[in-house]
A = this chain, B = another copy of it.
Amino acid sequence: MDHASGSPVDKRVIETMMPYFTDEVGNPASLHTSGMNANIALEDARENVADFIGADSSKNIIFTSSGTESNNLALRGLTHRKKSKGKHIITTSIEHMSVLNTCKDLQHDGFEVSVIPVGSDGMMDVDAITEAVTDETILISAMYANGEIGTIQPIREIGEMAHDYKITFHVDAVAACGKIPIDVEKDNIDLLSMASNDLYGPRGVGTLYVKSGVPLRPQITGGGQEHGMRSGSENIAGIVGFSKACEIAKAEMKSEGERLIKLRDRLIDGILGNIDYSYITGHNSKRLPNNASVRFSFIEGESIILGLNAVGVEASTGSACSVKTLEPSHVLIAIGLKQEEAHGSLLMTLGRQNTDADVDHVLENIPAIVARLRAMSPLYPGDKHGSGT
């Protein structure tokens, strides 16, 4: 139940990729048959990904190596091309580190960054973002949904406002892609980042949607691949796999989403209903179908994870991208939790492999794990019914 950290590649995706490891190994730039086949595969994948997010044209799709690279390309690429118009960027306090740290880096290059806070349910405040706009604002970067607390954001409204002010709007959809429908046209999005593994494709592949006319300075230069926006011989097997993953997600998103929401709600309700001092994190309803994030008072999320691991359940305390730092997740701090509250967080992200039996297994085991840890905690006041353990 840690799909946000790493998901298996769908078997149908692997099957689609295999020929491109062994037989179809041409370079799309070559003139011979296998080169032309590689080019066809590449352009078909581009069409597929464009179709998945409602892009006008496959020309709007740039393949990268990760969601992180896509976010970097969007932020660095856009700001360096538009800096003569202004040097102000707006983003939010719950963005992924690849947005927040890139913004920090851009501050060293003379850009000014406004980081807008979110509510206690992780929801962005469109009015607060609007108030931060100045004549110098060239870019607003906001995530579609947060992978750690699941909150789905008012992207369409933010995009509408951004376009009223003629500001470029970048959306990090890495956590959201494949889980909820995204339409770059209807959602008023100029730049959109996705990552393949977040929809059961292979790692090492991402994409950046770039609306026609939005200027970018390439960050990796060389042979001029990807319309000159991202050089390097294309990872055809990976790209074909990502494309297949989009195709599957498009076909199955609705039914799979409904199935996951039932599992998710049973998991959250089962925990909140049976364990004292446990709380949901993120929004109650505007929430990714697969995201069950909760927190427990008086104990450490890390200890719960090790307890769950011992009974065969893999989970997380937050973003796997920063878990090694021992700092509590910046997202949990951003929604107003105190350090000690944030340390008690448990993030479970469901996926295609998970069934009712998995939810039952967690619900059967977690009360004892929490109780055992609380018994060792000097802070624990005893359960609400007075039994003391």
Interface centre among A5, A35, A232, A305 (most CB of B within 10 A): A232
How close is A374's CB to chain B, nearest CB, in angstroms?
20
Q: Is the CB of B6 within 8 A of A11?
A: no
A184-192, A285-293, A316-324, A365-373 - the one binding chain B: A316-324
Q: How far is the CA of A150 from the CA of B29 in the complex (A)?
A: 20
Whether A123 sits at the interface, judged by CB under 8 Å, is no
Q: How far is the CA of A322 from the CA of B195 in the complex (A)?
A: 28
How close is A245's CB to chain B, nearest CB, in angstroms?
12
Closest to A309 in B: B32
Whether A222 sits at the interface, judged by CB under 8 Å, is yes
Q: Is the CB of B320 within 8 A of A98?
A: no
Q: Is the CB of B320 within 8 A of A222?
A: no
Q: How far is the CA of A32 from the CA of B35 in the complex (A)?
A: 42
Q: Is the CB of B30 within 8 A of A5?
A: yes
Q: How far is the CA of A101 from the CA of B14 in the complex (A)?
A: 35
Chain B residues with CB under 8 A of A11? 22
Whether A153 sits at the interface, judged by CB under 8 Å, is no
Q: How far is the CA of A6 from the CA of B104 in the complex (A)?
A: 38
Interface flags, A1-24, vs B, CB<8A=1, else 0: 010011111010010000001110
Q: Is the CB of B204 within 8 A of A32?
A: no
Answer whether A221 and B72 are a contact pair too, CB < 8 Å, given A66-B232, A203-B233: yes
Q: Which residues of chain A (227-247) have a CB below 8 Å from chain B? A: 231-238
Interchain CB contact (< 8 A) of A234 among B69, B203, B205: B203
Answer whether A322 and B223 are a contact pair too, CB < 8 Å, given A29-B5, A65-B232, A232-B65: yes
Q: How far is the CA of A35 from the CA of B325 in the complex (A)?
A: 15
Interchain CB contact (< 8 A) of A30 among B2, B26, B101: B2
How close is A226's CB to chain B, nearest CB, in angstroms?
11
Whether A25 sits at the interface, judged by CB under 8 Å, is yes
Answer whether A222 and B22 are a contact pair too, CB < 8 Å, given A67-B232, A232-B98: no
Q: Is the CB of A101 within 8 A of B5?
A: no
Answer whether A27 and B6 are a contact pair too, CB < 8 Å, given A68-B233, A69-B232, A203-B233: yes
Interface flags, A302-332, vs B, CB<8A=1, else 0: 1001101100001111011111110000000
Interface flags, A93-110, vs B, CB<8A=1, else 0: 000111101101100000
How close is A290's CB to chain B, nearest CB, in angstroms?
15
Closest to A219 in B: B219
Interchain CB contact (< 8 A) of A6 among B26, B221, B223, B309: B26
Chain B residues with CB under 8 A of A234? 203
Q: Is the CB of B5 within 8 A of A22?
A: no
Whether A339 sits at the interface, judged by CB under 8 Å, is no
Interchain CB contact (< 8 A) of A29 among B30, B65, B322: B322
